[in-house]
A = this chain, B = another copy of it.
């Protein structure tokens, strides 16, 4: 189950992108767990990766290959993260790249590998050897939905979306898929996302557009405060829409593309939180009137990471004291409590350092009943704001994570 509805419609094909899938038996038997994405030769590609110092072997290899040349293939497996596998893991990731490269008659470095799943198990290369040719031979433009399913781990639903808009009178498509449900926090945690557009975009601009979209989406979500070793987010522009290339992110076409990307990324990020392990509530925490965006996001994350706050949301309990205590320990210097206000779904619950005079338990309970909860904190000391999306903490979170390996 998930917090609210996560609509799934098969994404629109993107000219210049073909996808292939296979059941390699890495995740479990008879279940697709391998995805190959082929990029047309002229495609530009940008990516961001986890900042976890213990980054996984495929992250090391993918980053290095992207630095060396334009990628032609992305190879993604679920079921095994190839993380905590040392030098042998790096060699295994390189070996999987070679398997694709041989079939495609391309350079090894034109393949970027991605893995998600259990940490610390050797990558089963023999399963790759059997399944990579199947994925390769099944490459076609319409396999986005299959791919969205195949990259899932503890996800309960696939996550995918498309947007279309116009540049120079030509219709441009953006399609994206993502996976992730646990070990989710800022800086991209156990999250994989692949977004492609047929727009023609200069490489540098593409990276800027990606950075902006990620900052406003994946980097403001948190399920459990854990950052994964394997996160990666890739943005591809094939150029097949034949628009005149976007060479300035601040031009009208650049802004139109950024807006479409923002919608796609926000949808995928929200879907990941809604599908957060054991989630029953989707919680938007907005902190306003802080001295800096950093201060505001610090407060928002302290609230979002508090197990006491998250269990209260699970219980639909307007336990504003726990929110208040979280703000108080967020490490803001010279915090004046008196002018701070807190609203839950539009109900003022705290003012003047205590329960709002207008507050009633009935109003608080009514505010907590919906699946979607907006928490608004006003620090009343500046002009900055920040928003973080998170979910509640349920029995199922414990069950899923206590049972994951067994």
Q: Which residues of A contact B (CB under 8 A)?
A: 51-55, 81, 83-89, 118-120, 182-183, 187, 224-229, 305-308, 311-312, 314-315, 317, 319-322, 324-330, 332, 335, 337, 350, 352-355, 393-395, 397-399, 401-406
Contacts and interface: CB of A to CB of B under 8 A. Distances in A.
B402 A315 contact: yes
A183 B53 CA distance: 29
The 7 closest A-B pairs by CB, nearest first: A119-B321, A54-B328, A86-B354, A315-B402, A311-B401, A227-B329, A52-B328
Contact of A321 (B84, B330, B394, B395): B84
- State how many copies of this chain the complex holds: 2
Contacts of A308: 182-183, 224, 226, 401
A402 B305 contact: no
Contacts of A328: 52-55, 227, 229
A393 B225 CA distance: 14
A13 to B, nearest CB: 36
Nearest to A317: B405
Contacts of A350: 84
Contacts of A83: 321, 324-325
A321 B81 contact: yes
A355 to B, nearest CB: 5
Given A308-B226, A350-B84, A183 B325 contact: yes
A85 B352 CA distance: 9
B225 A307 contact: yes
A399 B312 CA distance: 10
Given A86-B354, A225-B306, A312-B402, 7 more contacts: A53-B328, A54-B329, A86-B352, A118-B321, A226-B326, A307-B401, A317-B405
Contacts of A183: 308, 325
Contact of A353 (B86, B330, B401): B86
A84 B226 contact: no
A403 B119 CA distance: 34
